[in-house]
Structure formats: structure tokens, C-alpha cells
């Protein structure tokens, strides 16, 4: 571990591995509190390092001091999940790999402590999980690299190691529960990333990390930096592309940026290019991109192949699309099946997805289930399904938005336009094209549209789907704005003037 002023967190972090680790090594980078004394009291060997704005150098001081066969790296605000102990014992017996991935579970505030994996009485629940290389053999060739967002992946790849299986071990991270702490870390990391980017502007990974760390008000700068970084990657030979573990995540984040600009075909074509070059690790991202563009055949092919082997990758070093999950793939397949009128297949995909869904994914799948009933004019069944959707205080905000959105759809389709408008306004969440498109459509139906409202809706709509892009462009037509040339065929079909004029 490396620490600075972590007196409050050290007992939990070190306590979680006492009796498991043969040695505890803590590198103090300049604490002004009792961190060093607390660590020593808990049995740790404490080393001191003069902080130089370089996380990797500090981590490597700890590695150089290690004497055990395996190394497990923690942050001070992380704890080993007690349920992971059997998995850790099995992982330490492996002789066939140099490194194993550990799941980092980011905890968030909850309304009670029932979901808290640490079982320490705090009201916490898992917000997000992602893998990191935190468990690896003690080897002088394995060292961290990177002033910030440090990692051992490059050193492992340099010695020919790219098979990094999941260990089954989880670390519970409670460092982002407080908004003030999240902001402090974001500002700190952003400053370091900007420095790294200035020192090495051609380095791809720091450019990617800088882009995704930019604040929301710099969305245009983020999109430009992501695109520039991806374009440089695409110019590399295929073998060099394969040596970039972050490439799937870079593609996913760039696609998100393009989707928010309505560039659906461009996103799908680049995804397909990388899928053709590197294989199944890009199936999920490519399938979603083609689905957004209304291209059902390639979308369905990629998503079904992903569902058949969701963990499959070109090699284990790939860091997959953070949105990729069987439940999310099922939502896309259900959405496409409904668009094509295959309601039985759509409902089957919803039920399949619900078996592994997170609370947020469950809300989206349940909302799609309501849409399937509405498409069949099953008003009573749709109302019952809406009533069964999660709506309590523990439900994510986006889940409540989805419940309001499908309620508005039911009101619209049953002729209650005033109620539909009220519900649609309450359902609005930034970045959610479906809710924004519904409100725009309802206001047009109600005759509540003037020039300022048209301009508002044009700005609110990103065009994230072929049909919401069509609505955005129809509004643009009314505003006399220029039309893009490269549009999905499904979008063109929706905006084409009726035969015979009018």
C-alpha cells in the first residue's frame, strides 16, 4: 500500500488482510497524521517516500521491499471482501500465471446497510465493479508504470505475459462515497494527467485517461481528444493495436461521444473495422453501435455471439467495454425485436436479461417489457407492469425516470395527452434521448411548439438512436438548419418526404 494521511482508513484496510498476508508493507508519502504509527501498530513495515507526483514510483518502492511469492495491492480506502478469502486461497495456489485480475467494487451511499459487502454497519452498496491487475507474482520485471492510473500491464506484456485470469477476489472501495472526496481525487488526477500529457503528447494511454477524466462542461474537448487518440491507434499495425489493453474501452468511450453527436454510422463502421481485425472482444460495442443505426442483421449477429461467450476476448489483457454485460445485450436484442414486430422474441430477451440484471439494468429491461405490451395495445397489462416496476427510495434515479417515461407512453397511447406531458417532463434525465424525444413528440402533438421550444428540443436531443436522430433532424428542417449527409438508412426512411409531397 501507499498512503498519505489515511489514519481513519488504515485499520479497516490492513485489518481486512491481517492473518491472510504474510507481510504488510506500507509506503508513507508524507503523512501529517498518525498513519505511520497506526500502520506499525497493526503489524506493517512502514517505508517513507518523498512524494514526487508519481504514483508508480511510490508503488514500486513497496514492490522492491516485498518478499512474498505473491503481491496484493490495496489502496487505503479499500478492503478485502471477506467473502473473497476462499477465492484468494485458490488464486495463490496457481502456478500457471504471473498475474490475476481482482474485482474493484466501488461502494456508494445507500438507504440501509443490507447490501454492504463489508458488513460494518454503514449504509453502503456496490455502485460499479471493474477488474484491475492487483494480484501478481513478486518478480523484479513486474513494475508499475504511469504517474497516475498506474498499472503493471505494460511490464507484464513486455515479458510475454498476457493471460490474466479472474481471481475471484474482490476489493471493496469506499473512497468515492463522499462527493467531496470524489471531487478531490478527480481534481488531483486531472492535474497529473494533464502534466503527463504535456510531457508525452504522443503517449496514447495518458491521452485516453485525460479525455475520460475531463469534467462534464468540457464534453467537446473530451470528444475531440478521444477521436484523435482513436485515429492514431487505427493508424498503427494490427500487432501494435493488440498490445493496447485499453483499446476496447477507448473505442467504447469514443463511440459514446459520437453517439451524443448523432454520428451513428461512423461509430458502427469503426466498431466493425476493429471487430474484423481483433475479433469477439468488440462484439458487444459493435452490436450496440449497429443497433443504434437501425441495422438489425449485423447488430443481432454480434450481440448473440457476445451472449454465447460474454467473457471471450482476443487475449485476457483486453479491458472490455465497461457497459458490456449479458443483461445489457439482452436489452438491445429485445429493443430490436420489438422494432421488428417480433414481440414474443422481445419478451424472451427481456426475461433472459432480468436473470442477471443490476437494479439499473432491471429498470431498463422492465421498461422495455412495458413498451412491448404497449406495442400490442395491451393497456391493462402495461399498467400492471408499470405498477410492478421499482419505485422506492433505494431505486436509482434513472430507474425512476424510466418508470415515469413508460407511464407517459401509456397515457399518450390511451389518449390522455395532458397527463402524458406532465409525466414526460418529470421523466427527463440529462443524456437520456428516449425521454427527451418523448417530450418533444408530445409537445408537437399538443400544439405547444414555438421557435424557442423547437430550438430547445433540437439542443436536448442528441440523436442517440436512428429514430431519435430522425426527430432531431425533422426539427432541424423546421429551423432551416443544414442536414448531415451520412445518415443511417433507417433514419433516412423516417425523414423522407411522403410520396406525392405534403
Task: Give the burial string for 306-319 (b: 16+ CB within 10 Å, else e).
Answer: bbeebeebbebbbb
Find, among 263, 310, 314, 313, the residue nearest to 289 by Cα.
263
Q: What are phi and psi of 78, to 5 degrees?
A: -120, 150
How confident is the prediction for the chain on average, in pLDDT? 89
Percent of the chain with pLDDT over 70: 91
Q: Is the pLDDT of residue 172 over 50?
A: yes
Q: What domains does the chain contain, in order, with CATH numbers?
A: 2-177 (3.90.550.10), 200-308 (1.25.40.10), 326-448 (1.25.40.10)
Q: Say what the pLDDT of residue 125 is.
A: 58
User: Containing H/E element for 56?
Assistant: helix 55-65
Mean pLDDT over 248-277 rounds to 96
Dump pLDDT digits (tens) for 91-108. Answer: 999 999 999 989 888 777
Contact predicate 429/398, CB 8 Å: yes
Counting every residue written for the chain, the total comes to: 502
Query: What pLDDT digit, counting tens, does each position of 20-53 carry?
Result: 999 999 999 999 999 999 999 999 999 999 999 8
The pLDDT of residue 286 is 98
**Cell 495518458 belongs to residue:** 206
Confidence class of residue 502 from pLDDT cuts 50, 70 and 90? very low
Q: What is the dihedral of CA 402, 408, 410, 414, to 10 degrees?
A: 180
- How far are the Cα atoms of 288, 314, 329 from residue 300, in angstroms, in the given order? 9, 20, 10
- Provide the pairing of β-strand 124-137 with 99-109: antiparallel
**Conformation bin of residue 72: beta by default, left when phi > 0, alpha when psi is -120 to 50:** beta
What's the grid cell of residue 201? 503528447
Report, as an integer, the average pLDDT of 106-133. Answer: 64
Q: Lowest-confidence range among 20-24, 122-126, 205-209, 252-256?
A: 122-126
Closest CA to 408 of 393, 424, 396: 424
Backbone φ and ψ for 205, nearest 5 degrees, come out as -65, -45
How many Å apart are CA 252 and CA 425, to the nearest integer?
30
Give percent helix, percent strand, percent coil of the chain, each to the nearest 5. Answer: 55, 10, 35
Cell of 488: 443511417
| Per-residue pLDDT at 314 exceeds 50 | no
- Where do the DSSP E strands lie in 86-139? 99-109, 124-137
Do the beta carbons of residue 424 and residue 408 sit within 8 Å?
Answer: yes
CA-to-CA distance for 332 and 341, rounded, in angstroms? 14
Confidence at residue 429, expressed as pLDDT on a 0 to 100 scale:
83
Residue whose C-alpha is closest to residue 208's, from 256, 175, 176, 174: 256
pLDDT value at residue 126: 63
CB burial string 242-275: b at 16+ within 10 A, e below: bbbbbbbbbbbbbbbbbbebbbbbbbbebbbebb
Which of these ranges, 38-42, 243-247, 258-262, 407-411, has the smallest mean pLDDT? Answer: 243-247
Average pLDDT over residues 337-349: 97
Report the pLDDT value the prediction gives residue 397, as an integer from 0 to 100: 72
**Burial bucket for residue 113 (CB in 10 Å: 0-12, 13-18, 19+):** middle
Q: d(Cα 108, Cα 193) in Å, to the nearest integer?
A: 25
Least confident of 1-15, 103-117, 225-239, 396-410: 103-117
- Model pTM? 0.78
Q: Is 371 exposed, middle or buried (0-12, 13-18, 19+ CB in 10 A)?
A: buried
What is the mean predicted confidence (pLDDT) over 387-415? 83
C-alpha cell at 162: 498476457
* Mean pLDDT in residue range 387-399: 70
Other CB atoms within 10 Å distance of the CB of residue 50: 8
Give me the pLDDT at residue 313, please: 45
175, 139 contact by CB (below 8 A): no
| Cell 492473518 belongs to residue | 19
Does 391 score more than 80 pLDDT? no
Give 68-95 pLDDT, tens digit per residue.
Answer: 999 999 999 899 999 999 999 999 999 9
CA distance to 18, 21, 26, 35, per residue, from 40 (Å): 13, 15, 9, 9
Q: List, in sequence order, the alpha helices (H) in 355-488.
A: 359-375, 379-388, 397-413, 417-427, 433-445, 451-460, 466-478
Amino acid at each position: 500500500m501507499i498512503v498519505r494521511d489515511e489514519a481513519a482508513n488504515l485499520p479497516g484496510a490492513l485489518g481486512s488482510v491481517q492473518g491472510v498476508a504474510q507481510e504488510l508493507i506500507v509506503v508513507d508519502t508524507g503523512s501529517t497524521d498518525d498513519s505511520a504509527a497506526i500502520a506499525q501498530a497493526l503489524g506493517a513495515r512502514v517505508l517513507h517516500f518523498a512524494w514526487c507526483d508519481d504514483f508508480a514510483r511510490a508503488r514500486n518502492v513497496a514492490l522492491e521491499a516485498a518478499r512474498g511469492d505473491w503481491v496484493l495491492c490495496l489502496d487505503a480506502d479499500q478492503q478485502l471482501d471477506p467473502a473473497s478469502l476462499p477465492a484468494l486461497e485458490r488464486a495463490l495456489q496457481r502456478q500457471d500465471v504471473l498475474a490475476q485480475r481482482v474485482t474493484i467494487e466501488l461502494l456508494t451511499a445507500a438507504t440501509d446497510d443490507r447490501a454492504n459487502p463489508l458488513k460494518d454497519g454503514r449504509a453502503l452498496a456496490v455502485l460499479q465493479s471493474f477488474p484491475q491487475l492487483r494480484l501478481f507474482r513478486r518478480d523484479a520485471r513486474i513494475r508499475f508504470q504511469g504517474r497516475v492510473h498506474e498499472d503493471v500491464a505494460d511490464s507484464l506484456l513486455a515479458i510475454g505475459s498476457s493471460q490474466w485470469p479472474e481471481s475471484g477476489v474482490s476489493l471493496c472501495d469506499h473512497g468515492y462515497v463522499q462527493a467531496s472526496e470524489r471531487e478531490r481525487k478527480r481534481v488531483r488526477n486531472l492535474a497529473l494527467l494533464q502534466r503527463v500529457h504535456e510531457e508525452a503528447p504522443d503517449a496514447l494511454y495518458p491521452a485516453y485517461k485525460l479525455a475520460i477524466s475531463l469534467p462534464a462542461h468540457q464534453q467537446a474537448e473530451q470528444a475531440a481528444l478521444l477521436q484523435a487518440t482513436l485515429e492514431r491507434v487505427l493508424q498503427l499495425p494490427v500487432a501494435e493495436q493488440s498490445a493496447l489493453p485499453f483499446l476496447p474501452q477507448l473505442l467504447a468511450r469514443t463511440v459514446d461521444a459520437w453517439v451524443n453527436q448523432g454520428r451513428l454510422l461512423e461509430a458502427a463502421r469503426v466498431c466493425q473495422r476493429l471487430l474484423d481485425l481483433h475479433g469477439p472482444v468488440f462484439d458487444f460495442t459493435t452490436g450496440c453501435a449497429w443497433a443504434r443505426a437501425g441495422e438489425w442483421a449485423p447488430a443481432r449477429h454480434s450481440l448473440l455471439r457476445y451472449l454465447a461467450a460474454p467473457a471471450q476476448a482476443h487475449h485476457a489483457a483486453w479491458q472490455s467495454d465497461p457497459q458490456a454485460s449479458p443483461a445489457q445485450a439482452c436489452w438491445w436484442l429485445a429493443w430490436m425485436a420489438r422494432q421488428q414486430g417480433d414481440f414474443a422474441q422481445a419478451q424472451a430477451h427481456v426475461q433472459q436479461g432480468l436473470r442477471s440484471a443490476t437494479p439499473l439494468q432491471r429498470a431498463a429491461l422492465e421498461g422495455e417489457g412495458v413498451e412491448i405490451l404497449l406495442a400490442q395495445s395491451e393497456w391493462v397489462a402495461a399498467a400492471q407492469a408499470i405498477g410492478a416496476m421499482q419505485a422506492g427510495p433505494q431505486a436509482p434515479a434513472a430507474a425512476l425516470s424510466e418508470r415515469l417515461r413508460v407511464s407517459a407512453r401509456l397515457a399518450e397511447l390511451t389518449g390522455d395527452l395532458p397527463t402524458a406531458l406532465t409525466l414526460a417532463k418529470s421523466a427527463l434525465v440529462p443524456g437520456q434521448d428516449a425521454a427527451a424525444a418523448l417530450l418533444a413528440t408530445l409537445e408537437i402533438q399538443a400544439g405547444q411548439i414555438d421557435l424557442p421550444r423547437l430550438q430547445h428540443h433540437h439542443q436536448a436531443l442528441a440523436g442517440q438512436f436512428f429514430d431519435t436522430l430522425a426527430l432531431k433532424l425533422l426539427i432541424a428542417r423546421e429551423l432551416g438548419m443544414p442536414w448531415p449527409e451520412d445518415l443511417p438508412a433507417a433514419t433516412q426512411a423516417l425523414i423522407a418526404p411522403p410520396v406525392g409531397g405534403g
